[in-house]
Amino acid sequence: MTLSEFDRIRQTLDSYLAKAAESRKHLLEAPYDPKLLHAWRVNLRRVTATLKDVATLSDDDLHDVLGYLRASREASGRCRDIDILALETLPAFLDKEQGKLTDADALRKALGDLQQQNHKQALAQLKKHSMATPLQAWSHWVHTLEPPTDGRIRDIAAAAIEKRLTELKKRAGKLDGGQKRLHRLRSATKKLRYSMELYQHAFPKPATTAWLKRLADLQSHLGLAHDRMMARKLIGDVVDGKEAKAQLKAFRRWTKRTAYEASEKAMQSLAKLDLLKAYWRPTAN
């Protein structure tokens, strides 16, 4: 039996919510795992980035569900940033770049202690954010909705993708080397990618695959730039005193340089997006 476009969307969103719920369950039952927290956050973001457009199919805009899921994801944001600093950024500086710190072991220990504090805070927040209510609300919404036609879904998909691309280009044009504007562009890139993923079955596979590949490349560079900028900011929470911070000058210089290099690569990826055909527009067929 061939699934309708709406059924494909429903199944995809169901899977995102189920993966988020499963990640939360394991985080609360087993020792903390950074990968599980990442899975929790990514799957919630996939839903919050796309559900508003899907909700236009009904008078119920699912505003409360979206608000709850966003609050659930944002509650663990700092913990994720600290994990990346401890597990990826600092090791890259010390090992791959042969960076030197006077007392690297003491820094690792202080950072590990900060991780533990944030892990406890993240788990406390997870306990407050049960998935039962949003899952029930989403299930009720789906089963009371009159199934839309495939044509209606394609119209919504095209409008959502066009909106996301416009937003991405607008934010790209406002980049100024600062963390805030970079974060906004990164967010816009994620939203466009997740929208294209959700609706990919409604369009020719080669076209969607090309866009998703380029967006993944762009997101990777923006993510690295963001991580390096955050590391430069967060490292101040790990060490105390002027002397200790002075020892981190090399690390700060390295994070600034590598963030800039990643941003440059992101700009190259953005330029490549302009070479792709806008497959969702009628004139592109």
Residue 232: Cβ-neighbour burial (10 angstroms; 0-12, 13-18, 19+)? buried
Average pLDDT, the chain: 92
Q: What is the mean pLDDT of residues 115-121?
A: 94
pLDDT-based confidence at residue 282 (cuts at 50, 70, 90): confident
What's the pLDDT tens digit per position in 226-276? 999 999 999 888 876 666 667 788 899 999 999 999 999 999 999 999 999
| pLDDT of residue 89 exceeding 90 | yes
pLDDT-based confidence at residue 105 (cuts at 50, 70, 90): confident
Q: Supply the pLDDT for residue 82.
A: 95
| pLDDT of residue 285 exceeding 60 | no
What's the pLDDT tens digit per position in 165-188? 999 999 999 988 889 999 999 999
pTM over the 0.85 mark: yes
Measure the CA–CA gap between 37 and 22, rounded to whole angstroms. Answer: 11
The SS3 call for residue 114 is helix
The SS3 call for residue 141 is helix
Measure the CA–CA gap between 107 and 86, rounded to whole angstroms. Answer: 10
Residue 144: Cβ-neighbour burial (10 angstroms; 0-12, 13-18, 19+)? exposed
Q: Supply the pLDDT for residue 98.
A: 62
Residue 4 sits at φ, ψ, to 5 deg, of -75, 165
Q: Supply the pLDDT for residue 236.
A: 82
pLDDT-based confidence at residue 217 (cuts at 50, 70, 90): very high
Residues 6+ apart with CB under 8 A from 184: 171, 174
Higher pLDDT, 97 or 55: 55
Residue 132: Cβ-neighbour burial (10 angstroms; 0-12, 13-18, 19+)? exposed
CA angle, 258 then 39 then 131, to 5° = 140
Domain at 5-284, CATH homologous superfamily: CHAD domain (1.40.20.10)
Return the minimum-mean-pLDDT range out of 28-32, 85-89, 95-99, 205-209: 95-99
Q: Residue type at 14? A: D
Q: What is the mean pLDDT of residues 190-208?
A: 96
Q: Supply the pLDDT for residue 159.
A: 97
Share of the chain above pLDDT 70, in %: 95
Residues 6+ apart with CB under 8 A from 1: none
Q: Which residue has 């899907």 as its token pair?
A: 54
What's the pLDDT tens digit per position in 3-58? 999 999 999 999 999 999 999 999 999 999 999 999 999 999 999 999 999 999 99
